[in-house]
Amino acid sequence: MQRLLFEAAWEKTIDARDREEIEKIFEQVKEMKESQSFFILSQARNHRNDLLVTVLIQNGLETDWVLCGEQLSYYEANKLIATEVFSDKRLIVPAKCSMPWTFIFSESSVQQEPNFKKGALQMFSER
């Protein structure tokens, strides 16, 4: 059975309303096949004009999903918006777990201005 997991920093800092919203979304999407996916929760720009993409990372497999060192691309309506390699060592989603995460695409990685509609996050592994 799929479990919802919050990384330690999220556990300490998440607003109660945000947590409740993530839990509600998790309940709607937790029944998944044996696969790995990203469910977009929100997109925004920060004060440095970086692109923030908050997702629910879903690992339906029996093995941990290690995302550290992976290249992720953010698309809108099948158009590439940004690509970045993420190296945070906390980016490990245990087997049969879902975990919220905010990926920060630096302003320099943004190739096209986002409109925050029909967003999708994809991973391209070279392994």
Q: Give pLDDT tens digits for 42-76.
A: 999 999 999 999 999 999 999 999 999 999 999 99
pLDDT at residue 126 is higher than 60: no
Q: Which domain holds residue 27?
A: 3-124
Mean pLDDT of the chain: 93
Rounded Cα distance, 28 and 39, in Å: 11
Report CA-CA distances (Å) from 84 to 2, 78, 91, 121: 28, 17, 14, 11
Judge contact between 52 and 102, C-beta under 8 A: yes
| Percent of the chain surpassing pLDDT 70 | 97
Average pLDDT for 7-26: 94
Q: pTM score, two decimals? A: 0.92
pLDDT score at 30 = 77
User: Whole-angstrom Cα distance, residue 51 to residue 38?
Assistant: 16
* pLDDT of 29: 86
Our measurement of the distance from residue 25's CA atom to the centroid of its chain's CA atoms, rounded to an integer in Å, reads 14
Mean pLDDT in residue range 82-107: 95
Phi, psi of 20 (to 5 degrees): -60, -40
pLDDT at res. 127: 44
Number of separate domains in the chain = 1
- Band of the pLDDT at 125, cuts 50, 70, 90? low
